[in-house]
Amino acid sequence: MTRNAKHRILDGALDLLRADGGGSITLDAAARQAGLTKPGLMYHFPTKEALMLAVVEHVAARWEKLLRDRLGQPVETASPHRRIRAYVEMSLTEEFDQADFAIHSDALYRDALTRTWVRHFEPWLALPDDLQGPVRGRLTAARLLADGYWAAAATGVFPVPAGDRAHLLAVAEELLREEAPA
């Protein structure tokens, strides 16, 4: 199966989560969604765990690409402020839906899925130990503002009106301001 076909399977699995009333990913449902037989799907994803790991990897890689595009430099060379700023801007400007939320929250129950998220996002969100407390607090607050916004947008539970995004970005920008050197 080609890489594009694997993406079709993974995107189809995410579409299952977008079904009215919520859906779930099973090998049978993912095979039907991709137009394959169950054995055809299992050739590439032999277990539900393998499929779920691939779906999480697929979503996390997409998010990380959005971050890299926004940052415009290697994450390893960016300051904590620039990394968190990229995360905040992505979270407040990109579209997320219930599939993103379901895949992200499913990691709470499965260590292998958690490790995938950590591997992709620790370079973006981890703050250096020697960062001063007030700066650390502001960067963490900006990140949590972004987490709350995308979760509300993705779930539709108490969504923030679209017109308020600019105001949230302004609040985040204040939190992300870098102190002038003394």
DSSP conformational letter for 159: P
Higher pLDDT, 82 or 180: 82
Return the pLDDT at 21: 65
Confidence grade of residue 181 (pLDDT, cut at 50, 70, 90): low
Amino acid 7: pLDDT? 85
- Give the model confidence (pLDDT) of 107-151 as tens digits: 888 888 899 999 999 999 999 999 999 999 999 999 999 999 999
Distance CA 8, CA 14 (A): 10
Average pLDDT score over the chain? 90
**Residue matched to tokens 């599939």:** 99
Lowest mean pLDDT, pick from 89-93, 105-109, 178-182 = 178-182
pTM for the complete prediction? 0.88
The yes-or-no verdict on residue 179 having pLDDT over 70 is no
What is the rounded distance in angstroms from the CA atom of residue 10 to the CA atom of residue 13?
5
Question: Six-digit token pair at 89?
Answer: 């801007």
- Binned at pLDDT 50, 70 and 90, residue 1 comes out as very low
Q: What pLDDT, in 10s, does the model give residues 29-86?
A: 999 999 999 998 998 899 999 999 999 999 999 999 999 999 999 999 999 999 999 9
At 136 the pLDDT is 96
* The pLDDT of residue 159 is above 80: yes
Q: Give all domains of the chain, ordered by start, each with its CATH number.
A: 1-46 (1.10.10), 49-176 (1.10.357.10)
Burial of 67 (0-12, 13-18, 19+ CB in 10 A): buried
Residue 46, φ and ψ in degrees, nearest 5? -65, -20
Concatenate the DSSP letters of all residues of 106-127 into one string. Answer: HGGG-HHHHHHHHHHHHHHH--
